[in-house]
Amino acid sequence: MPLAKPTALPEDVDRTTFTCGDDALDVWLRHHALDHQQDRTTNTFVIIDRPPGRRAGMGDLDTEGLGAEGLGAEGLGAGGLEIEGLEIDPAGADAARSGTVDSAGAGAGGADGGRIAGYYCLATAAVERIPGTRRRSRRPTEPVPAMFVGRLAVDLRYTGRGVGARLVRDAVMRSLTVHRMVGLPLLLAHTPHAAGAAFYHHLGFRPTRFDPYLHALPLRAAAG
Ligand SMILES: CC(C)(COP(=O)(O)OP(=O)(O)OC[C@H]1O[C@@H](n2cnc3c(N)ncnc32)[C@H](O)[C@@H]1OP(=O)(O)O)[C@@H](O)C(=O)NCCC(=O)NCCS
């Protein structure tokens, strides 16, 4: 049975059993995600494995039609984004892929609202340009606005099934909507783990020069 599309974190879903192997990520989902969402500081999106016959709630957001099919390196020029000092490698911006997520064997359980297979949180951010890396640049030195995936995790019962990639793809899709509206150029992802960094790099993100824990995907490239 395919898992649901990522939706805004509903109040009725069980957050207490989520276990991804990183306590900090588990605790954040269990105890802080909903507060942040209600405060409108950070939105959390989840893939829920619901019991058969249980429909998505009213708060669920359908990401269909946001036009993220075909995310890839097309459109990413040899020079990449012209953002002074960011030094993002334009090669391999083969961002999140689509694909069916199969929950067979995972067993939907938890509370009536279903079980969270994976989550990520999305916010906005701004990064300082590093001056002096572009000769004769007349660009202003204001911070660069970005979308920001602060946390992303998949429950151990669901790893290796495409849930993580689906979450990243959803973050890209939502970020592209903002990108098309206001031109915001970057999607940033934060992870302190080498494995997390490898995961993001596998999906097309590149290291940033300004923070070893931050990885960036140029949205112009993802838009194709
Ligand atoms: C890293 C994590 C999110 C991966 O989730 P997942 O659902 O198992 O990943 P997927 O099944 O969607 O994998 C998608 C692709 O990424 C690859 N991948 C998965 N984890 C990877 C890793 N650590 N390094 C490199 N590639 C990885 C998969 O092989 C797959 O590649 P393919 O499409 O070419 O076959 C998950 O293991 C996790 O939650 N880890 C703990 C928390 C964490 O590190 N979060 C990262 C940011 S804070």
Model confidence pLDDT, tens digit, residues 41-84: 999 999 999 877 665 543 343 333 333 333 333 333 323 333 44
Question: What pTM does this model have?
Answer: 0.81
Q: Domain 7-61+72-223 belongs to what topology?
A: Aminopeptidase (3.40.630)
Reported for 138-143, long-range contacts at CB under 8 A and 24+ positions apart, including other chains, are 139/82, 139/84, 141/84
Residue 219 confidence (pLDDT) above 70: yes
Residue 40 region by backbone torsions, left for phi larger than 0, else alpha for psi between -120 and 50, else beta: left
Which has the minimum average pLDDT: 31-35, 83-87, 212-216?
Answer: 83-87
Determine if ligand 1 sits within 6 Å of the CB of residue 17. no
Determine if ligand 1 sits within 6 Å of the CB of residue 164. yes
Reported for 129-136, long-range contacts at CB under 8 A and 24+ positions apart, including other chains, are 129/83, 129/84, 129/85, 129/86, 130/84, 130/85, 130/86, 130/209, 130/210, 131/84, 131/85, 132/85, 133/84, 133/85, 133/87, 134/82, 134/84, 134/85
From the candidates 119, 158, 200, 213, give the one annotated as an active-site residue.
200
Distance (angstroms) between ligand 1 centre and the Cα of 180 equals 28
Tens digit of pLDDT for each residue in 153-181?
Answer: 999 999 999 999 999 999 999 999 999 99
Q: pLDDT averaged over the chain?
A: 78
Distance (angstroms) between ligand 1 centre and the Cα of 150 equals 16
Q: Where are the domains of the chain?
A: 7-61+72-223
What pLDDT was estimated at residue 99? 39
Percent of the chain with pLDDT over 90: 58
Residue bearing the CA closest to ligand 1, atom 12: 162
Q: 213 an active-site residue?
A: no
Residue bearing the CA closest to ligand 1, atom 28: 160
Which has the minimum average pLDDT: 22-26, 60-64, 115-119, 152-156?
Answer: 60-64
Distance (angstroms) between ligand 1 centre and the Cα of 99 equals 14
Determine if ligand 1 sits within 6 Å of the CB of residue 196. yes
Which has the minimum average pLDDT: 105-109, 129-133, 134-138, 172-176?
Answer: 105-109
